[in-house]
Amino acid sequence: MALSESSVPASIFEPVLEYLRHTPYALAVLVFSYFSGQLWTFLILGYLKKGAAGNRVLNSVAGKVSLGIAWFALVLVPIFYLSHQSLQFTYDNILSVAIPTLVAGLCAQVLTVAWFITWR
């Protein structure tokens, strides 16, 4: 289900669109998170879960984005620490490591999925 103005109140819809329009990093994180979540969902439902088809929440757009964001948060912590020598998170510091986090996270994830496909 795609987001539309009819399903989301205007008081929420407009500020979110404005934020995404002025912060391209946030839009990139959302897009990469969706693809990352899609890969994790494929791995979980195709190789790790036995039995019937998957969970409706996990297999939704919001579920895939949430799973991708959780993955990138795990990848961000070591990259952030190596870059800033501390774990004091600020918005600007997180944005400074956003692109390396996305690249490293997707590379690690592709290698993991490739390993599962090849060896499982």
- pLDDT tens track for 21-55: 888 888 888 899 999 999 998 888 877 777 666 66
The model's pTM: 0.78
User: Tell me, what's the pLDDT at 7?
Assistant: 63
Q: What are the pLDDT digits (tens) for 50-98? A: 766 666 777 888 889 999 999 999 999 999 999 999 999 998 899 899 9
Q: What angle do CA 9, 56, 71 make, to 5 degrees?
A: 85
> Domain map of the chain by residue range?
10-119
Q: How confident is the model at residue 8 (pLDDT cuts 50, 70, 90)?
A: low
Interaxial angle between packed helices 98-119 and 61-84, expressed in degrees from 0 to 180 and rounded to the nearest 10: 120
* Degrees, nearest 5: CA angle 35-30-110: 30
Most confident of 16-25, 51-60, 108-117: 108-117
pLDDT number for residue 18: 86
Question: Which residues are within 8 A (CB) of 65 and not within 5 positions of it... i.e. 6 or more apart?
Answer: 30, 33, 34, 37
Calpha distance 65→16 (Å, rounded)? 16
